[in-house]
Amino acid sequence: MRSIGELARASGLTVSALRFYDRCQVLTPALVDPVTGYRWYTGEQVAPARLVAGLRRVGLPLAEIGLALRHRHEPAVVGRLLDAHLRRLEDGLADARRELSRVRALLGPEEGTATTRVLLSRAALAAAVDAVRFAVGDDPGLPVLSGVLFDVEPDGVRLVATDRHRLAVARAAGTVDGPAARALLPVAAVDRIRTLLSSRAEADAPGAG
C-alpha cells in the first residue's frame, strides 16, 4: 500500500489534488483508516493517478476526467474525449485571437514594433526541437497543428507540438532581450532550423511582439 504522499510523488498530483479527486469520487483510495482518516492506495492506482495528472494539465473537465478514467482500457472512447477537448481548445483560441484583433484595432496603430531577441545555445535548442518534433501533426485538415509553437518566456523558449493524440513540451534556457513573444513555425522551417543547428554555435529563436 502507498500513502497519499507516496502516490502524490509517483503520479505528479499534489496531496490536496488527490483529496479533491477522492471527494469527487474520481480517484478514491483503496483504504481509509477509520480512526485517522488517512488514505491508502495500491500500486495499481499509480497509473490511473498519472493519467488523471496528465488530463488535468491539458484542462480536461472534471466529469470527462472521470469518464476517461473509467474507460482507460478503451482507447477509442478516450480518444474521442481528447479529440473533442482539443477542438474546444482550438475554437477558444480562435475566438481569443479574433477578440484580441478587435482590441488592437480599438487601440489604434502602434508607433513602433518591439523586437524580442533570444540567445540560446545550439545544444539546448537542438535538444528542445528533438524532444517535440515527433508530435507535430500531419493532418492537412488541421494545418495549425503542423508546426511547433515557440513561446518566449523570461528565461528562454518553450516549444510545444501536438497532433491531437500526443502532446510534447520542451524548454530551452537562454538569454531574452525584449517582451514576451510567440511564433508558430511550420514543420519545414523547424526542420531547417534543426539542420542549421548542426553547423551554428548559437541560434536566435524567432519571436516578435
The pLDDT value given to residue 206: 52
pLDDT band at 112 (very low <50, low <70, confident <90, very high): low
Single pTM value for the model? 0.48
The pLDDT value given to residue 204: 47
What is the percent of the chain where pLDDT is above 70? 89
Helix (H, G, I), strand (E, B) or coil at 157: strand
The pLDDT value given to residue 127: 92
Average pLDDT, the chain: 85
CATH 1.10.1660.10 residue ranges of the chain are 2-75
203 φ, ψ (degrees, to nearest 5) = -140, 140
pLDDT tens readout for residues 149-182 = 998 988 899 999 988 878 889 999 999 888 888 8
pLDDT band at 9 (very low <50, low <70, confident <90, very high): very high
pLDDT band at 208 (very low <50, low <70, confident <90, very high): very low
Is the pLDDT higher at 142 or at 121? 121
CATH 3.10.150.10 residue ranges of the chain are 117-205
SS (H, E, C) 61-130: CHHHHHHHHHCCCCHHHHHHHHHHHHHHHHHHHHHHHHHHHHHHHHHCCCCCCCECEEEEEHHHHHHHHH
The pLDDT value given to residue 4: 94
Lowest mean pLDDT among 57-61, 80-84, 111-115, 199-203: 199-203
**What is the CATH number assigned to the segment(s) 117-205?**
3.10.150.10
Burial class (CB in 10 A: 0-12, 13-18, 19+), 161: buried
Kindly report the CATH class assigned to 2-75. Answer: mainly alpha
Q: Does residue 207 have a pLDDT over 70? A: no
The pLDDT value given to residue 178: 81
